[in-house]
Structure 1
Amino acid sequence: MSIAPLAAVPSAHRPAVVFRGRIGRDARSGHYAVPHRYRLHLSTACPDGLRLAVGHSLLGLDGDCPVTLLPAVPDCPGGGHAALRPLYEASAHHYTGPALAPVLSDDWSGRIVSTHAPEILRDLDLLRHDGDARLYPSGLRSVIEAVERMCAQGIGEAAQRAGRAGAGADERAAALDALLDTLGRLERRLSGEEYLADDRLTAADIELWVSLVQLDTVHRCHLDAAAVHRIAGHRALWSYAGRLAAHPAFGRHLDLDGIARRHHGRCQGLEAAGAAVQILDWAVHAERATDVFRR
């Protein structure tokens, strides 16, 4: 297992190290792809935690890899979770950083395998033995990775810049243009299609859906009403988001109250008029997904 420093990321909300063990990848670590050995620790109010919860459900791993849910708002100084402290201390000698989620742990050793969410999502695929469900199916990885980059840069980062307090008008306008361009390209890709890749649910759909959840529940609060109306004009994209929200693997993990509390606890930006313009009624779709799951 590798433990890498995060010196380049000077944030109080990041740990001093990131754990990057890989299931089935590192012979020295002994992290082989066997059921009933690994455990996920996550909060679905966190985008990374929501991605992992959805992927875990799509893969049907409830019996093979249990999930420990954590509070939406971390309960320790520095953004950490008290419940994760023993895992961090067992995995890094004299660890003093915050015990952040998400975490993939090894129940056999009581130590952390990984805290790197993108790699955890990829490795969850390895815990499936029937070959039926795959988040990263062979032949589609390049497409999925392209969508992941588009969502990270063209939606998440662009939306943050467009609503950043203290940014100049030209900077915000350029960021909004980049956001709308990305949404337009994804809208065209989804025109007449149910999913993003090969007419099947993949990690690309998880990434885009979580990005749209964040855009409507978090980033929208810092945009003006005109910008939100332009974002909402991508009808195919938001119809797709609503369909997935009604899917039990997606919508039942939506913790709207938790997302709001996490946002208010971390955000230092100013609320704008777009906060009053909700794009999608996520609660209705989430309730439908929960009803389907309970049946």
Structure 2
Amino acid sequence: MPETVSRGSSTGTFATAARTAVTGAPACGTVAPSATARPHRFRGRIGVGLAGGFYPAPHRYQLYLSEGCQRSLRVSITLALLGLEGSTATTVLTCPAETPDAFASLRRAYEATWHHYDGPLTAPALCDRWSGRVVSNHTPDILRDLADLADLADLRDDEGPGLPALRPPDLAAEIDALRELLTRDVTPDSPPPARAATLTLLDHQLASSPHVLGEAITAADVDLWVALTRLGPADDALSAYLHLDRYVRRLGRHPAFLAGVRMCA
């Protein structure tokens, strides 16, 4: 029988796999520290910290996303799953020549956050429309804050039942571990043996449950679906993995995933 992770009873399957030692280049997105470099990572939080946290309010926040960006696609799908599109303004950046006003607005937000900011205009970026500042450009924090805000009905478009708890506390560690595993092993540039081993593990996981961590959809499914679709056409990359192939096709028909793709793909 394959190992599975059911909601409320994590076996640590992905945490164990993520701890496996590997060698090679550092993960994408890492930046070597520099004594003279200006900061370019901002990690404010919504609703975290009485002194410096940004409290939640409808229409207070704006997201800048980037077309064709894997991280932006994860954010856009999460927004749709949580019914937050109407209360959170979203701007999709293409190239400066096509969206000059959007780039100018994002630059003003970075400069309001750090005087004379001359670093990269990183997206996804979550901005506070009241102060004009960047709250965060760290995607995992943005995703966590959106998930944690899902129970605030005044921020949602849909107040009815059925909205998923994307980051339940009992599965948070496994969600983080799976994200680390995907970043390392499930990319077009991952070593083929590592990618094949991880895809086999995931295929076994989905043999006995509709979602990667059990019966209900979680943030792990958003991460996994986006990672799998970035490998290439399903007929090629996943042809040897029956359950993964079916999973990608099934979630690809989900309204929230369709909405996220329409926004950022």
TM-score normalised by the chain length of structure 2? 0.75
Alpha carbons of 1:29 and 1:178: their partners in 2 closer, same or farther (altered >3 Å)? same
Query: Aligned-pair distance for 1:16?
Result: 5.0
Assess, with a 3 A threshold, how the Cα gap between structure 1 residues 81 and 75 changes in structure 2: closer, same or farther. Answer: farther
In structure 2, what is the Cα distance between the partners aligned to 1:241 and 1:213?
Answer: 7
Aligned to 2:212: 196
Match of 2:46 in 1: 23
Give 3-state SS (helix, strand or coil) of 1:254's partner.
helix
Q: CA RMSD in A?
A: 2.7
Instruction: Give the one of 193, 204, 216 matched to 2:232.
Output: 216
Q: Tell me which residue corresponds to 2:173.
A: 142
Contact 2:43 2:137 (8 Å CA) reproduced: yes
Distance 2:52 2:260 in 1: 31
> For 2:244, which of 237, 242, 247 is the aligned residue?
237
| Aligned residue among 175, 182, 185 for 2:198 | 182
The residue type paired with residue 247 of structure 2 is: Y
Report if aligned partners of 1:39, 1:104 keep a CA contact under 8 Å in 2: yes
| Distance apart, 1:7 and its partner CA | 4.9
Q: Quick one: distance in 2 between partners of 1:110 and 1:193?
A: 44
1:112 aligns with 2:131: no
**Which runs of 4 or more aligned residues in structure 1 lie more than 4 Å from their structure 2 counterparts after TM superposition?**
228-231
2:108 aligns with one of 86, 97, 106? 86
Tell me which residue corresponds to 1:66.
Answer: 89
Q: Offset of 1:109 from its aligned partner?
A: 0.5
- Where does residue 261 of structure 2 map in the other structure? 254
TM-fit CA distance, 1:30: 4.0
Change (3 A) 1:230 1:198: closer
SS in structure 1 of the partner of residue 57 of structure 2: coil
Question: AA paired with 1:60?
Answer: G
State how far apart, in whole Å, the 1-side matches of 2:210 and 2:31 are. Answer: 41
Report sequence identity in percent.
38
Comparing both structures, which one devotes a greater share of its residues to helix? 1
SS of residue in 2 equivalent to 1:99: coil
Gaps of 5+ in 2: 1-29, 154-160
- Output the CA distance in 1 between the equivalents of 2:173 and 2:148: 18
TM-score (structure 1 length as normaliser): 0.68
8 Å contact 2:77–2:261 — kept in the other structure? no
Matched AA of 1:45: G
Report the CA distance shift for 1:7/1:181 in structure 2 as closer, same or farther (over 3 A): closer
Matched to 1:55, the amino acid is T
Q: How many residues align?
A: 221
Deviation, structure 1 residue 100: 2.0
Match status 1:8 vs 2:37? no
Structural mapping, 1:145-164, within 5 Å: 145-156=176-187, 159-161=188-190
Q: 1:23 to 1:114 in 2, by over 3 A?
A: same
Q: Which moved more, 1:186-195 or 1:29-38?
A: 29-38
Q: Is the 8 A contact 2:65 2:72 kept in 1?
A: yes
